[in-house]
């Protein structure tokens, strides 16, 4: 399954743009990427602070997963992103449930899932914010970035390409396997 990439210089939110695209019947599995966003979404209505130079994207596609498995889907997304980012650094990345990736107890990535219904179909939107080059400043948690933990230059385009490749495989797997087999494959 090929993912289409739509790139923007600026958006209010990649998840909000994904919702608009779905409602306009642009239903092909898609990555919405922006270099800068003003109102990134976090969990429970929180704002994701977006500092230019980091990665902000959303992936959306149609799913046929039962509602009780949606929360477990969050963990699968965290595992996929952890595996992608782990190859760029030597320090261990840890998953803080339900949707954050941490290095040395500092947040480097946040993931937000949203479900949109259209014409009796269910679409999942996976919003991803990765602090690749610059840490965000927050009073509620400690944050860092990937660049802090490596000697080589972090290349956002390489990470985006890795995310695209991993999710193309994941979407194909969703269509081939039952949910329990997916959980085993994406440990």
Q: Measured between alpha carbons, how far is 27 from 161 in angstroms, rounded to an integer?
A: 21
Q: What is the CA radius of gyration of the chain?
A: 16
Banded pLDDT at 106 (limits 50, 70, 90): very high
| pTM, to two decimals | 0.91
Which band of pLDDT confidence, cut at 50, 70 and 90, is reported for residue 142? confident
Q: What is the pLDDT of residue 36?
A: 86
Domains along the chain? 4-178 (3.30.930.10)
Q: Please state the φ and ψ torsions of residue 48, each to the nearest 5 degrees.
A: -90, 120
What is the pLDDT at residue 46? 60
* 79-95 pLDDT per residue, tens: 999 999 999 998 999 99
Q: Give the 3-state secondary structure of residue 84.
A: helix
User: What's phi and psi for 131, nearest 5 deg?
Assistant: -80, 95
Tell me whether residue 14 is exposed, middle or buried, using C-beta atoms within 10 angstroms of its C-beta: 0 to 12, 13 to 18, 19 or more. buried
Cβ–Cβ < 8 Å for 34, 127: no
SS3 category, 123: strand
Closest CA to 163 of 63, 57, 91: 57
Tell me which of 52 and 121 has the higher pLDDT: 121
């Amino acid at each position: 399954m090929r993912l289409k990439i739509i790139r923007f210089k600026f958006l209010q939110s990649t998840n909000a743009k994904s919702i608009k695209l779905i409602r306009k019947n642009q239903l092909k599995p898609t990555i919405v990427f922006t270099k800068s966003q003003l109102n990134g979404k976090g969990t429970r209505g929180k704002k994701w602070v977006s500092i230019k130079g980091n990665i902000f994207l959303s992936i959306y596609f149609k799913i046929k997963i039962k509602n009780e498995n949606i929360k477990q889907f969050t963990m699968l997304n965290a595992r996929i992103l952890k595996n992608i980012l782990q190859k760029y650094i030597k320090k261990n990345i840890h998953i803080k449930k339900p949707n954050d990736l941490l290095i040395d107890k500092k947040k480097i990535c946040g993931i937000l899932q949203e479900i949109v219904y259209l014409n009796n179909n269910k679409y999942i939107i996976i919003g991803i914010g990765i602090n690749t080059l610059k840490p965000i400043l927050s009073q509620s948690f400690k944050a860092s970035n990937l660049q802090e933990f490596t000697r080589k230059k972090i290349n956002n385009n390489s990470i985006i390409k890795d995310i695209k490749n991993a999710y193309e495989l994941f979407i194909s797997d969703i269509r081939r396997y039952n949910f329990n087999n997916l959980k085993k494959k994406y440990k």
